[in-house]
Chains A and B, each alone.
Chain A
Amino acid sequence: MFTPMTEPSTTSTADRIVEVTGLCKEFAGKRVVDDVAFTVLRGQTVALLGANGAGKTTTIAMLLGLLLPTAGSVRVLGEDMVRHRHRVLGRINFSSPYVDLPRRLTVAQNLLFFARLYGVPMPKARIAELAAELDLSPLLRQRIGQLSAGQKTRASLAKALINRPELLLLDEPTASLDPDTADWVRGYLEVYQRRAGAAILLASHNMAEVERLAAQVLMMRRGRIVDRGPPAELIRRYRPRDRRRRPGCPHPG
């Protein structure tokens, strides 16, 4: 059942965007992430798939350095995220439906603020470029608080791409979106990933989303990676018996 994710031995360190080994996190003695290990290569999209409480968001938080691991190591772009996260934070970015942009600022003000925070060269040109790509141009003067859920997601995505990240971490990128908007966002991420050659790590409980976007899937349950492999392989492996034997596992179809 368990297939280790491996990469060719010729893969250089520079191509290993994320290297996680033996990652554990405990809260009040309860282990919520348990011995997680994986690698994300440059240009690769990897998905953490699991039900709510599986440990996906906690894993992403540790990758970002928002949360300190109890044990194990996280290296992003070659840097230890516990000790030297500030060396690489300008080269990665993050979006989550559980984190908002300041509601009283307009879309343009938000993007300019984050562009300056990330030291983006020629920020206004970059904002215009993203606004055109993400169909945000008519919304630039609107406050974030006035936007619909789909528009907010596009604005958050623009913020997450403002610094042309080499690693993009997305927590539930299409949560609470209608199917059409969700589909549009997935399409855009595919285009961005191909064009920029960035690595993407996304957390999702939506197998359809994972199947479309990810080359590799890490299936998480109760804090552990219980299986991994390409989406098609996992679907083949689980579809017939998933409903009968593993009710706690997200439906991979």
Chain B
Amino acid sequence: MTGRVVSAAGFAPSRIAAMVLRQVYLMRASWPRIFELMYWPTIQMVLWGFMTRFLMTNSSYIAQASGVLISAVLLWDVLFRGQLGFSITFVEEIWSRNLPNLAVSPLRPSEFLLSLMTVSLIRTLIGVLPAACLAIVFYQASVFDLGLPLLAFFVVLIVMGWAIGMAVIALILRVGLGAENVAWLAIFLIAPVSAIYYPVSVLPGWLQAVAWCLPTAPVFEGMRAVLIKGVFRTDLLIHAVLLDVLYLTIGAGLFLYSYHVARRRGLLLQIGE
């Protein structure tokens, strides 16, 4: 019969594009969704902008670099939005009871993960870019002052967000939607040891060791080195990238294992019920 689909084997970017298209349709159909993506990063930026103004006259540390707090807020949001965008896009397939349709389509798990990464990147940019631009207008503080290292920090943080997102999805596949709140909360577990607003040296000795096991701490230390001392620490970046690779591998492994277990237990059909 003419027009029949002949083969769906192999990796296909067109299937990833289809998954992204489905999310674009969803966002386009609802302006509150777009608004919600921009809302929290902007509110956070406004709050920390005022805090920066106050501390500029009361703290010699902040006075060295006025953009350090706002840059920290925006970079933290890259991690948070990256992870949330990844996890929630998957959870939306469960909410809409569409997961079995995807699981019986030619979409491969690796393509599914890549589509989640792409959607997460789009959602993160929609959320963080307007806040970054408004920070320049309101407070004359630009995260773009970081220059090229900003791109490196952005990549390391969003990849870490994806790694955590994969672990969250793995948990949801194992225990069901009862674990969906983890998608919102997981990232805050690492916030205290990520050295977002303060140096790692502030932490107790044993927590410093924990902090250096995460890619976030070297990124925020690296950000402060650029903004305060004008130095780009490649050692910190390499440290962060290596940890990123490790966590991404663990995340992907957990996802694939949970997907296999879900197929064994029949959870792909039941998970939305």
Tell me whether A and B are bound partners.
yes
- Interface residues, chain A, with chain B CB atoms under 8 Å away: 27, 57-58, 61, 64-68, 86-94, 96, 98-106, 109, 112-114, 116-122, 126, 143, 159, 163-164, 166, 196-197
| Chain B positions 191-223 with a Cβ under 8 Å from a chain A Cβ | none
B31 CB–A CB distance under 8 Å: no
Q: Is A67 within 8 A of B269, CB to CB?
A: yes
Given contact pairs A67-B263, A116-B15, A91 touches B5 in the complex (Cβ within 8 A) = yes
B263 nearest in chain A by CB position: A68
B55 within 8 A of A: no
User: Does the CB pair B5–A118 fall under 8 Å?
Assistant: yes
- In the complex the two chains form, is B21's CB within 8 Å of A119's CB? no
> Which of A61, A88, A96, A105 meets B22, CB within 8 Å?
A105
B94-106 contact mask (Cβ, 8 Å, vs A): 1 or 0: 0011101111111
Alpha-carbon gap, A18 to B96, bound state (A): 30
Question: Is B3 positioned at the interface, with any CB of A under 8 Å from its CB?
Answer: yes
| In the bound complex, CA of A27 to CA of B269 (Å) | 14
Q: Other than the known A89-B106, A91-B8, what 10 A-B pairs have Cβ atoms closer than 8 Å?
A: A27-B266, A66-B266, A67-B266, A86-B108, A89-B104, A99-B98, A99-B101, A100-B98, A109-B22, A120-B5
Expressed in whole angstroms, the minimum distance between the Cβ of B1 and any Cβ of chain A is 6
Closest chain B residue, CB of each to CB of A113: B22
**Which residues of chain B are near A61, meaning CB under 8 Å?**
266, 269
Q: Across the two chains, which residue of chain A brings its CB closest to B9?
A: A87
Q: How far in angstroms is the closest Cβ of chain A from B65?
A: 44
B17 contacts chain A at the CB level, 8 A cutoff: yes
Which of A100, A104, A117 is within 8 Å of B19, CB to CB?
A117
Chain B residues contacting A27 (CB-CB under 8 Å) are: 265-266
Binary per-residue interface labels of chain B (61-94) against chain A in the complex, 1 for a CB within 8 Å, 0 otherwise: 0000000000000000000000000000000000
- Judging by beta carbons under 8 Å apart, are A96 and B100 in contact? yes
Q: Which residues of B contact A113 (CB under 8 A)?
A: 18, 21-22, 25
Given A86-B9, A100-B98, A104-B96, A118 contacting B3 (CB threshold 8 A): no
- Out of B8, B96, B260, which one reaches A89, CB within 8 Å? B8
Which B residues lie within 8 Å of A87 (CB)? 7-9
**Are B105 and A117 interface neighbours, CB within 8 A?**
yes
A66 touches B104 (CB 8 A): yes
In the assembled complex, the CB of A199 is this many whole angstroms from the nearest CB of chain B, namely: 13
- Across the A-B interface, give the 8 residue pairs with the lowest CB-CB distance, nearest first: A90-B8, A116-B18, A100-B97, A90-B106, A163-B5, A117-B18, A99-B100, A164-B4
Q: Count residues on chain B whose CB falls below 8 Å from chain A CBs.
A: 40
Q: Which B97-141 residues have C-beta < 8 A from chain A? A: 97-98, 100-108
Chain A CB within 8 A of B14 CB = yes
Q: A159: which B residues are within 8 A, CB to CB? A: 101
Q: Indicate if B34 sits at the interface (CB-CB under 8 A).
A: no
| Pick from A58, A66, A119, A164: contact of B263, CB under 8 Å | A66
Q: A61-B266, A91-B8, A102-B96 are in contact. Are A66 and B103 (CB under 8 A)?
A: yes
B30 adjacent to chain A (CB < 8 Å)? yes
Nearest CB on A from B104, distance (A): 5
Q: Complex Cα distance A119/B3, Å?
A: 10
Interface: B264 (CB within 8 A): yes
Minimal Cβ-Cβ distance residue in A for B100: A99
Which chain A positions have C-beta within 8 A of B105? Answer: 89-90, 114, 117-118
Task: Report A-chain residues with C-beta under 8 Å of the C-beta of B102.
Answer: 117
CB within 8 Å for A90 and B5 given contacts A27-B265, A58-B266? yes
B5 contacts which chain A residues (CB < 8 A)? 90-91, 118-121, 163-164
Whole-angstrom distance from the CB of A11 to the nearest CB of chain B? 20
Query: Which A residues lie within 8 Å of B104 (CB)?
Result: 64-66, 89, 92-94
Distance (Å) between the CB of B21 and the closest chain A CB?
A: 6
* B26 CB within 8 Å of chain A: yes
Residue of A nearest to B12 (CB): A119
Chain B positions 158 through 179: 1 when the CB is less than 8 Å from some CB of chain A, otherwise 0: 0000000000000000000000
